[in-house]
Amino acid sequence: MTITRAWALIIELESRGNTQAIGDDGRAGGLGQMWWVFRKDYWPPWAWNVLAELDYIAFRTFVRANPALNLRELYNRHYDPGSQNSTLPEEFLDSDS
Protein backbone atom coordinates (compact mmCIF):
# COMPACT_ATOMS: atom_id res chain seq x y z
CA MET A 1 0.00 0.00 0.00
CA THR A 2 1.31 3.46 -0.80
CA ILE A 3 1.72 6.18 1.82
CA THR A 4 -0.82 8.25 -0.13
CA ARG A 5 -3.41 5.43 0.04
CA ALA A 6 -2.76 4.86 3.74
CA TRP A 7 -3.21 8.59 4.40
CA ALA A 8 -6.51 8.58 2.47
CA LEU A 9 -7.78 5.70 4.59
CA ILE A 10 -6.79 7.46 7.82
CA ILE A 11 -8.52 10.66 6.69
CA GLU A 12 -11.72 8.79 5.95
CA LEU A 13 -11.64 6.97 9.28
CA GLU A 14 -10.60 9.89 11.48
CA SER A 15 -12.20 13.02 10.01
CA ARG A 16 -14.35 12.02 7.05
CA GLY A 17 -12.43 14.69 5.11
CA ASN A 18 -13.26 17.54 7.50
CA THR A 19 -10.18 19.79 7.60
CA GLN A 20 -11.51 21.46 10.76
CA ALA A 21 -12.06 18.24 12.70
CA ILE A 22 -11.07 18.29 16.37
CA GLY A 23 -11.08 15.11 18.41
CA ASP A 24 -9.78 13.26 21.41
CA ASP A 25 -10.81 16.02 23.84
CA GLY A 26 -8.95 18.64 21.80
CA ARG A 27 -5.66 16.76 21.66
CA ALA A 28 -6.03 15.94 17.96
CA GLY A 29 -6.92 18.01 14.95
CA GLY A 30 -7.07 18.21 11.20
CA LEU A 31 -7.63 15.66 8.49
CA GLY A 32 -5.54 12.92 10.07
CA GLN A 33 -6.44 13.81 13.65
CA MET A 34 -2.78 14.04 14.62
CA TRP A 35 -2.08 14.57 18.29
CA TRP A 36 0.16 17.48 19.23
CA VAL A 37 2.71 15.12 20.74
CA PHE A 38 2.92 13.31 17.38
CA ARG A 39 3.45 16.60 15.56
CA LYS A 40 6.12 17.61 18.07
CA ASP A 41 8.02 14.37 17.49
CA TYR A 42 7.69 14.15 13.71
CA TRP A 43 7.08 17.56 12.16
CA PRO A 44 10.06 19.10 10.39
CA PRO A 45 11.19 22.50 11.70
CA TRP A 46 9.73 24.40 8.72
CA ALA A 47 6.24 23.06 9.53
CA TRP A 48 6.29 24.88 12.88
CA ASN A 49 7.08 28.11 11.03
CA VAL A 50 4.08 27.54 8.77
CA LEU A 51 1.90 26.90 11.83
CA ALA A 52 3.15 30.12 13.45
CA GLU A 53 2.16 32.11 10.38
CA LEU A 54 -1.26 30.43 10.23
CA ASP A 55 -1.81 31.17 13.94
CA TYR A 56 -1.00 34.83 13.32
CA ILE A 57 -3.42 34.98 10.37
CA ALA A 58 -6.17 33.48 12.54
CA PHE A 59 -5.41 35.92 15.38
CA ARG A 60 -5.41 38.92 13.03
CA THR A 61 -8.69 37.80 11.42
CA PHE A 62 -10.29 37.35 14.84
CA VAL A 63 -9.15 40.77 16.09
CA ARG A 64 -10.50 42.48 12.98
CA ALA A 65 -13.86 40.71 13.45
CA ASN A 66 -14.04 41.77 17.12
CA PRO A 67 -12.90 45.41 17.24
CA ALA A 68 -14.80 46.08 20.48
CA LEU A 69 -12.45 43.86 22.51
CA ASN A 70 -9.29 45.23 24.05
CA LEU A 71 -6.26 42.98 24.47
CA ARG A 72 -7.03 41.97 28.06
CA GLU A 73 -10.68 41.15 27.24
CA LEU A 74 -9.64 39.13 24.20
CA TYR A 75 -7.17 37.10 26.26
CA ASN A 76 -9.51 36.56 29.20
CA ARG A 77 -12.44 35.45 27.01
CA HIS A 78 -10.70 33.35 24.38
CA TYR A 79 -7.29 32.24 25.62
CA ASP A 80 -7.82 31.75 29.33
CA PRO A 81 -11.55 32.03 30.10
CA GLY A 82 -12.17 33.28 33.60
CA SER A 83 -8.65 34.64 33.93
CA GLN A 84 -8.19 38.05 35.38
CA ASN A 85 -4.74 38.58 33.88
CA SER A 86 -3.83 42.09 34.95
CA THR A 87 -0.46 42.13 33.16
CA LEU A 88 -1.97 42.69 29.71
CA PRO A 89 -2.92 46.24 28.72
CA GLU A 90 -6.53 47.26 28.19
CA GLU A 91 -5.65 48.92 24.91
CA PHE A 92 -7.71 48.36 21.80
CA LEU A 93 -5.83 46.86 18.87
CA ASP A 94 -5.14 48.90 15.74
CA SER A 95 -5.08 47.42 12.31
CA ASP A 96 -1.53 47.02 11.07
CA SER A 97 -2.55 45.51 7.72
pLDDT at site 11: 93
pLDDT at site 89: 86
pLDDT at site 95: 67
pTM of the model: 0.73
Residues for the chain: how many in total?
Answer: 97
HEC profile of the chain: CCHHHHHHHHHHHHCCCCCCCEEHHHCEECCCCEEHHHHHHHCCHHHHHHHHHHHHHHHHHHHHHCCCCEHHHHHHHHCCCCCCCCCCCCCECCCCC
Q: What is the pLDDT of residues 73-92, one digit of tens each?
A: 888 888 877 777 668 888 88
The list of the chain residues with pLDDT below 70 reads: 85-86, 95-97
